[in-house]
Chain A
Amino acid sequence: MLIETFNLTRKFGERTAVDNLNITAEEGKILGFLGPNGAGKTTTMRMLAGLISPTSGYAVVDGIRPDKEPERVHEIIGILTESPGFYNNMSAQRNLEYFAGFYNLSDASAQIEKYLRLMGLWERRQDKVGTYSKGMKQRLAITRALIHKPKILFLDEPTSGLDPEVSQEVRGLIKNLSQEGYTVILSTHNLSEAEQLCQRIAVIRTGLVALDAPANLRQRLFRHQTMIKLEEIDERLIGAISKLDFIKNHSREENTLFIELADPSKHQPELIKSIVEAGGRIIEVTDKKHSLEDIYLSLLNEEEKI
């Protein structure tokens, strides 16, 4: 594991921001931090990045304790903060040169050129950052996080406040970075973004609610359901379905049936045959997909009950 935390806890006075958090992140994968506002996502990220220390517990990042050797951790990480700041009176290129100057880079100019071109900012590299749009600043901030070729990238709300087109661009970029071998820790409110990008998701609400791949979380929380849309549903049809012994559960929503089967691949054809025989006119048969939003809300509700 590239990152591992052991009962990581951070308190601010009486308030506990992060409570006994135990998570792991694999090398070359994107781990998403999901959670409501104030859940401790940014605090966790800052502790992993060696910017603030835990009150108790600890983290290990690529074999280094960020609380003990923050400068060593800073060598191997790149961070996009929630509100990335720049020196607005300096050009984009000069801003990047300044930040690159803190690393022992032999090819800083080449790196800056590479990423400015990749981000579509090369033509405007000499413009003052103060004249940049929010989207351009965000792309520049990602460039800044990348110029020293970090092993791990921390991205805090990378698409927050961006228009849909730029958000899509940024997401594409993050996906590419993961394919290039970067380990990415992504904090986001955007569930579809997390679903598109993350191999694993840590749902955080002060403590860890769940940590797994979205598909596994889905499987854990929701049973498989077949969704059958019909022209009309009458009592005769419901009666016929109820007699089938492989149906574990069924419900109805207007002209759609949601049916839980013991073995979907084996029983689905039989079910359809029975419906047709009972006079049902089928419009569509699909598997019910539970979105990440369903998973997220279900996990938080489950945790609230506990």
Chain B
Amino acid sequence: MTKQRIYNILKKEWQVMFTEVNSLMLVTLLPVIILAQGLLYVWLIDKFGGESMISSAFFQSVLQKISEIMPAVSVLTIPEQLQVFLLSQFNFYLLLIPVMIAVSFATFSIVDEKQTRSLEALLATPVRTWELLLGKALSGAIPAIIVTWICGLLLLLGVQILGWGHLLEYFLNPAWFIILFLLTPAISILSFLLGVIGSARAKDSKSAQNLVLLIVLPVLMLIGIQISGLVWFTTILTLVLAIAIVVIDFFVLKVAVRLFSRESIIISWR
């Protein structure tokens, strides 16, 4: 029965979300923009990665870092080394997709229930709070994960098509796959649950959307930390980070179930 209920929630959430223009745009346009932006940067280095650019202090420090952590790239030209660096960072950048899709779907899903006042009738059915939250979380996380994976695939295709295929062996390491196949789902679910927790307190879609920005910030920080070279996410560190987020997901689900109590919803959601 639990599976049937979760599937029931998933089906309905998708039906509602995908008739909304904003949701559709988020799922289609955002990944295209992020992917195009990433490929554009790599292309710019390929096209304009001349001496003047490379001699800047920032790129010098990046090159220094690359030589420390990826000694194998020393056989490549300096612009190629920078391209490998950017491509290896790109998966962290892709994490913005599941975060933004999941949080937006979460806030939309909860705020819609608030605005239509449909939740009291829903809570009067035998559905359990965790089933409801998991169903909603998966409804946001599944499209977010699929879209991110498609983006990862398109990135590899783009690299091949644009003539950088020989760089694949340098950045396609286990960490790249861990980010895509473990960290992406874990962060999607975490983002969705945080979105649910926050929007349960939001009064309207505007304040819920402000919350989306707050939840995106830690992921931006993660990207910043990696790019600045403050902490380099090696395979082991990426795996530890992914497992830590999976564990956090369970705790946050528990917290969400507690905060999402039927009583507070029925009494205070107006």
The residue from A51, A52, A85, A104 contacting B116, defined by CB atoms under 8 A apart: A85
Q: How many positions in chain A have a CB within 8 Å of any CB in the partner chain? A: 31
Scan residues 61-83 of chain A and give those whose CB is less than 8 A from a CB of chain B.
Answer: 70-72, 74-75, 77, 79, 81, 83
User: Does A290 have its Cβ within 8 Å of any Cβ on chain B?
Assistant: no
Closest Cβ of chain B to A71, distance in Å, is 5
Q: Does B26 contact A (CB under 8 A)?
A: no
B16 interface hit (Cβ, 8 Å): yes
The distance in angstroms between the C-alpha atoms of A103 and B126, with both chains bound, is 7
Taken residue by residue from 222 to 260, chain A's Cβ proximity to chain B (1 for < 8 Å, 0 otherwise) reads as: 000000000000000000000000000000000000000
Whether a CB of chain A sits under 8 angstroms from the CB of B125 is yes
The segment from A87-95, A201-209, A296-304 that touches chain B is: A87-95
- Which B219-266 residues have C-beta < 8 A from chain A? 262-263, 266
Q: Is the CB of A71 within 8 A of B121?
A: no
Q: Among residues 61 to 94 in chain B, which have CB atoms less than 8 Å away from a CB atom of chain A? A: none
Answer yes or no: B124 CB below 8 A from chain A CBs. Answer: yes
Contact A87 B12 (CB under 8 A): yes
Surface stretch bound by A, among B1-9, B46-54, B137-145: B1-9
User: How far, in angstroms, from A53 to B11 measured CA to CA in the complex?
Assistant: 31
Q: Which residues of A contact B125 (CB under 8 A)?
A: 74, 99, 102-103
Of A51, A77, A94, the residue contacting B120 (CB under 8 A) is A51
In whole Å, how far is A173's beta carbon from the nearest beta carbon of chain B?
18
Known: A52-B267, A74-B126. A89 touches B16 (CB 8 A): yes
A90 CA to B18 CA, complexed, in Å? 12
Q: Is the CB of B124 within 8 A of A74?
A: yes
Whether a CB of chain A sits under 8 angstroms from the CB of B201 is no
Q: CB distance B126 to A85 under 8 Å? A: no
* B residues apposed to A, CB below 8 Å: 1, 4-5, 8, 11-12, 15-16, 19-20, 112-113, 116-128, 262-263, 266-267
Binding site for B on A (CB under 8 A): 12, 46, 49, 51-53, 70-72, 74-75, 77, 79, 81, 83-90, 94, 98-99, 101-104, 141, 144
Sample 15 A-B pairs with CB under 8 A, ordered by A number. A51-B124, A74-B124, A74-B125, A75-B126, A77-B124, A84-B117, A87-B16, A87-B112, A87-B118, A90-B15, A98-B8, A99-B122, A103-B125, A103-B126, A141-B121
